[in-house]
Every structure is written in C-alpha cells, then in structure tokens.
Structure 1
C-alpha cells in the first residue's frame, strides 16, 4: 500500500528510543493525544513514545515484546511512501531512497491499489 504526504513532516526526536525484543524498558505516562502510546526509556537512556503493542506491560519496567524504534521519517509534501505497518494512527513507511520511519496517518493520503474499483 502506498500514500502521498499532504504536508512536510520532520523528525521530532534526533536520538529516538529503540530496543530489541526481551530488553528492559522503563515506562512513564500515556500520551493524551495518542492514547495507545506510552512514554518509555530504553536501557541506553533514550526516551520516546512507544506503541503499547511493542511492550509486555504498561507500568514500571517491562520487557520489550518486539523490536522497536521510534525513528520518524523526514518527508516532503507530495512525496510518495510505501506503508508497511500501522500502529495507533502512525505508519511505518519507506521512501523511494529506502529510508524508513514513522509518519502520522493524518499527514497521509492513501493511494488506491491498482485493480481496485
């Protein structure tokens, strides 16, 4: 599935939280705008928002349920991206240069699949 950016999007966190499955992650508060996301700090001290599906719990220090990075994708209005996975109103996407990262769904216009009516 593909989408086109409706507006420019720029990374908010230059050194985002990231971890591998099974690693400890310390959790903070839930986001009020994106309630499926929890503020988390990885073992290296990097913090950021993590979708709850990547965690084995929602309080204290928990194990990572899956590999994860909060890396966002810098993209320009009109740019076409391939959508890989959706989580709580965000898409893991890939641009034409092969760079991957998260983009907010509200900034994307979904393209109709070939062969769809």
Structure 2
C-alpha cells in the first residue's frame, strides 16, 4: 500500500458522517464550490453530506446510489504518515497509526514513493 506525509493538517467537518448504500434513493442538491465533483446528498431521514456526484444515476434531485460510500473524514496532523488505500475524486481513503480511517484530500498529502523509505 502507498503511504503519504500529511503536509497540511486536516480536520473533519463538525457534522456526523453519512453512509450511502448502493441502490439507496437520495436527494441531490448543489455542487460544492471548492470540490465541484461533490454534490450535497440528503438521505431520506434528513441527514446530509458531500458525496462524489459520479456515484449517482442523476445530477440533481432524486437519484439512486450506484455504489456504497461513507463520508467519514480522517483528522490528521502535519508531518503525520498515513497509509493510503484508494483514491476517489481527489481524496484518499486513508488510515493512521492508531487505526482510524477516513477520507483526506490529495492536496493535503505528499505521496511517498512506494520504493522509498
């Protein structure tokens, strides 16, 4: 697996993460201004979060999820080393030394060469 050094501390937003399941019906709102590949997604029970728009069969309004997705983000300090699992929409699903997992933006990371130290 790849590793990366965190170059800019990252903090998860102050709202609970949501999980979207493949086949789940949701309501899509506006695109994020900083991350236009993400759309505000509201679940039937009213909770919402940012999810990559490519994971839905529509662009706005009612839509169906094409894959599972968890909006959980990883809190990370500058200079921390994280293990990267996979990338989606310029974010990496990563884990830290404590075993915490979540998304962290690529722009907050310096990827470490797989053959490096």
Q: Deviations over 1:57-80 (max 9, x none)?
A: 212111111111111001111111
Q: How does 1:35-50 map to 2 (within 5 A)?
A: 35-50=36-51
- Distance in 2 separating the partners of 1:79 and 1:90: 17
RMSD: 1.4
Report how many aligned residue pairs link the two structures.
115
- Distance in 2 separating the partners of 1:44 and 1:101: 23
Q: How does 1:80-99 map to 2 (within 5 A)?
A: 80-99=81-100
The two structures have a TM-score, normalised by structure 1, of: 0.89
- Distance in 1 separating the partners of 2:95 and 2:33: 27
The reply to whether residue 2 of structure 1 matches residue 14 of structure 2 is no
- Distance in 1 separating the partners of 2:60 and 2:33: 16
The reply to whether residue 21 of structure 1 matches residue 25 of structure 2 is no
- Runs of 4+ more than 3 Å apart: none
The two structures have a TM-score, normalised by structure 2, of: 0.89
- Distance in 2 separating the partners of 1:43 and 1:18: 12
- Distance in 2 separating the partners of 1:14 and 1:28: 17
Larger CA deviation: 84-93 vs 21-30? 84-93
Gaps of 5+ in 1: none
Q: Does the 8 A contact of 1:86 with 1:92 survive in 2?
A: yes
